[in-house]
Homo-oligomer: A and B are copies of this chain.
Amino acid sequence: MIDHLRRHIPVLDWGRRYNRTALSNDLIAALIVTIMLIPQSLAYAMLAGLPPEAGIYASIAPIILYAIFGTSRALAVGPVAVVSLLTASALGQVADQGSTGYAVAALTLAFLSGALLLAMGVLRLGFLANFLSHPVIAGFIAASGLLIATSQLKHILGVEAHGHTLPQMLGSLFAHLPEIHGLTILIGVSATAFLFWTRTYLKPTLKRLSLPDVFADILTKAGPVAAVVATTLAVWAFDLAGRGVSIVGAVPQSLPPFTTPSLDADLIRLLIVPAILISIIGFVESVSVAQTLAAKKRQRIDPDQELIGLGAANMGAAFSGGFPVTGGFSRSVVNFDAGAQTPAAGAYTAIGLAIAAVALTPLVYYLPNATLAATIIVAVLSLVDLSILQKTWTYARADFVAVATTIVLTLGLGVEIGVGAGVAISVLLHLYKTSHPHVAEVGLVPGTQHFRNIHRHAVITDPGLVTLRVDESLYFVNARFLEDLIQKRVTEGCAIRHVVLMFSAVNEVDFSALESLEAINRRLRDMDVGLHLSEVKGPVMDRLNSSHLIRDLNGQVFLSQYDAWKSLTPASPSDAAA
């Protein structure tokens, strides 16, 4: 009972062994992460189309709930770029940005994602995430990064623009180009340039100055904070807000409020598909980060328990004024590098953010939106890695088709259609590949008991005997292929008296394949040709024995292909032509 509880509420496990060293390590990590998270939270709230405080609220309760239910020691949960984009895309279909309905729909979306993740965790359905192939995820994230960066250009240019696809966004930006605002561009472009510089050049420079690695790292990561402070001071000092620069403005000074998501049936119907997408994509992103970090310390995360942890975190967001969250890559890596030892580090981060929400929000009044947009653009452009196109092109064309489709459709038709088409096309391509399995006609390698492909090796064959090695499990998609193949092979050669199917690589025979084998057996009997099986694996044989096939087989089942050969060919190979 206790073990069972510990498994599902991991805090009971590591909490018992918590000591002073872990405490101080966790506190230091929490401080660093908190400073980094403040601008990031505001920025992702803006990306999701929500007021800035929503980003901070979405980082408090979820972190604590994940610390209780999650299994990763280093994962930091909160708003992340791709999920914020998905949120904006989903909410844009049900309400206008800035309306009450929009904020309520964000709660509902977090609630639905939480409920789905919890349900998947309880039902142990984590494997569903596997339907997203790596190329589809990579293509989707690259395309999302481009979409996100483009969506932020309006803040840099100081214009109004809308749209959820690349053509829409670019069209809208061009239409509003005459309204661009010089001061905003100045801030936006300098912030972007500064952030790119810190990211690309600061660290090597600091290292050349012989600063310790970890210190160089922290200074580099503090780039966004510096940009925030500098541009906020500039706006305040020169009254740039009065000259038309758009700023964050008044953010309520408060702890996260208690909120209740709307459970209106119409709203749920509109949001359920985006919620499924957010849950699965968030889960995939989070699990891959968590696994990478856990491996570094020879720890293990439990994907089904992760679903529970992320589900609880999203539920927390739904009831505390947030929006959908997941485990983020950059914040988790910072947390890990800063030495976080247990999920308690997350809880301390939450306390830090709560203090910020109560005490520090007046400080961001003059923060220009262009700076937030710059932090988003610089963060997401690192996600845009189109080398996946080249890599899959070299490795396997089917994977390339899946990536290219995902990227093109995500950019052109939006995130939901893009990822949906990516999943559909990878499944179809996989089924297509297995629908034409490799089947080798084999013969005996002289002087051995081995059988090899007759087209690749000098082997002994017999005109009366055809042996086919099937290199794939047999199931409905390829069952008929085998029927056609055998029919073709047998109608070609009139001397054929026996067909042997060598099943060494057949891991499964489903009911369709069973019926195909029965049909093959019937047709071969009509042609007066025997059908035999060899090297059938134990589990496959067990199943075939529960059918009529073996009883009605117009031939035998041989343990080894060599037994089949000995039994079905004339005594000496030289007689074979007779």
- The A contact surface, by secondary structure, is helix
Q: Which chain B residue shows the least CB distance to A426?
A: B476
* CB interface residues, A 362-415, toward B, < 8 Å: 391-392, 394-396, 398-399
The 8 Å CB contact of A478, one of B130, B394, B488, B523, is B130
| Whole-angstrom CA separation of A422 from B487 in the bound complex | 28
Number of copies: 2
Quick check: A512 and B133 within 8 Å, CB to CB? yes
Interchain Cβ contacts under 8 Å between A and B, 26 examples: A127-B436, A127-B481, A131-B431, A131-B477, A133-B510, A134-B516, A135-B476, A291-B483, A291-B487, A291-B519, A292-B522, A295-B526, A298-B527, A299-B491, A300-B491, A392-B511, A394-B546, A396-B543, A399-B510, A399-B511, A399-B512, A426-B476, A427-B431, A430-B510, A471-B507, A505-B505
CB of A438 within 8 A of chain B? yes
| Whole-angstrom CA separation of A127 from B90 in the bound complex | 37
- A-B interface, 5 closest residue pairs, ranked by CB to CB distance from nearest: A133-B476, A295-B523, A399-B511, A134-B512, A133-B512
Which B residues are CB-close (under 8 A) to A294?
487
Which B residues are CB-close (under 8 A) to A511?
133-135, 391-392, 395-396, 399
* CB interface residues, A 519-541, toward B, < 8 Å: 519, 522-523, 526-527, 539
Q: Which chain B residue shows the least CB distance to A432?
A: B127
Which B residues are CB-close (under 8 A) to A476?
130-136, 426, 430
Which of A's residues lie within 8 Å of B, judged by CB?
Answer: 127, 129-136, 291-292, 294-296, 298-300, 303, 391-392, 394-396, 398-399, 426-427, 430-438, 471-473, 475-481, 483-484, 487-488, 490-491, 505, 507-508, 510-512, 514-516, 519, 522-523, 526-527, 539, 543, 546-547
| Whole-angstrom CA separation of A512 from B430 in the bound complex | 12
Quick check: B508 and A433 within 8 Å, CB to CB? yes
Q: Which of A291, A480, A483, A491 has the most CB of B within 10 A?
A: A480
| Whole-angstrom CA separation of A387 from B512 in the bound complex | 15
Quick check: B472 and A507 within 8 Å, CB to CB? yes
| Whole-angstrom CA separation of A512 from B132 in the bound complex | 9
| Whole-angstrom CA separation of A248 from B77 in the bound complex | 73
| Whole-angstrom CA separation of A80 from B394 in the bound complex | 49
